[in-house]
Amino acid sequence: MNRNKDLYCTESNKSVSQFASDLADTVKRYAFVVNNLDTMDMKKTFREHGGEVVDDFDLHMMQICKPTKADKSLSMNPERSILMPKFVMVFSKDGRTQIRYLSYSAELISEFVPDDPKFTGSLAETFTKIRSMIDEAK
């Protein structure tokens, strides 16, 4: 894994919650969804399960999915599922909204899901689209 190639790091001038809301709206326009809208605010989720975090803790873990693509992909080969969860992390650091998104190299995809060359290209397209939607929502 290569941090500079596989980890997308960017910032937004929006608040964490505003960026998360705008990203949810953006992905919807492209037939993607945020699977965990009710649980992406980790302060709320942690506290609901007995966790303790400070009041200004503002991490949102957003699981992005395109059901009309994932249904076919996973029906074809359930081994692909290990690489399917796509999370966009949104948090504040030093007064700025930070956004992180981890994708995988073609080599790693091929290592985890061997003998499935079509998946590598298809997943690369999804990674690129998610990065562009992040940029659009910023």
Residue 99 belongs to domain with CATH number = 3.30.310.70
Q: Which helix (H) or strand (E) is 102 found in, with range?
A: strand 96-102
pLDDT score, position 93? 94
pLDDT score, position 117? 86
Number of domains in the chain: 1
What's the whole-model pTM score? 0.91
d(CA 27, CA 22): 9
Residue 51, token pair as written in the block? 């966790």
Asked if the model's pLDDT at residue 25 lies above 90, the reply is yes
Domain span at residue 108 reads 3-137
